[in-house]
Structure 1
C-alpha cells in the first residue's frame, strides 16, 4: 500500500534541522487541516498555495513531491 504524501513528509521531520524540507515537514505536522490522506499533486498544491503560510516557496513542495514519487516508484 502506498503512503500518503503526508505520511512520507512526516518521515522527513527534524526539529533540529534548518533544511527547508525538514522545516516544511515540521510545520505541516502542526497544520491540523493538512490533507493527510492525499497522494495526488494537484489537490496538495492547491491546498498549500491557499493555506500554507508556513511554506516560503512552492519549489520546496515541488522538490519534496518529486522525492515522494521517486520513492513510490522504487518500491
Structure 2
C-alpha cells in the first residue's frame, strides 16, 4: 500500500453535505492531530474511538477502510 488511509479518504472531500463519507473526509482533514501517515486499521480505529467525533463515526470509518483495503491491498 503506497497511500495512507488519510490520503485515500481525502478523495471523498468536496462531496454533498448529506454524503457521510464526504463529511467524514472533511472532519478528518480539519483534525490536525489525525495520524496522516497511518495505514493500519488498529491504530486508526483506536484514534477514532478515543476522539469520538460525531462527524467521524466508526461505522463510516469501517466502510472507508474496507474500500481502502480493496483498492490498495
Taking structure 2 as the reference length, the TM-score comes to 0.89
SS at match of 2:12: coil
Aligned-partner SS, 2:22: helix
Q: Which has the higher contact order (CA 8 A, sep 6+)?
A: 2
The reply to whether residue 69 of structure 1 matches residue 38 of structure 2 is no
How far off is 1:56 after superposition? 5.6
In the TM superposition, structure 1's runs of 4+ consecutive aligned residues that sit over 2 Å from their partners are 54-57
Separation of aligned partners in 1, 2:11 and 2:52? 19
Shift of 1:72: 0.5
Q: Can you give the 5+ residue segments of structure 1 that lack an aligned partner in the other structure?
A: none
Match in the other structure for 2:35: 35
Deviation at 1:63, TM superposition (A): 0.3
How big is each residue's C-alpha offset from its partner over 1:23-57, in whole Å with a ceiling of 9 and x where there is no partner?
00011010010000000000000000111413363
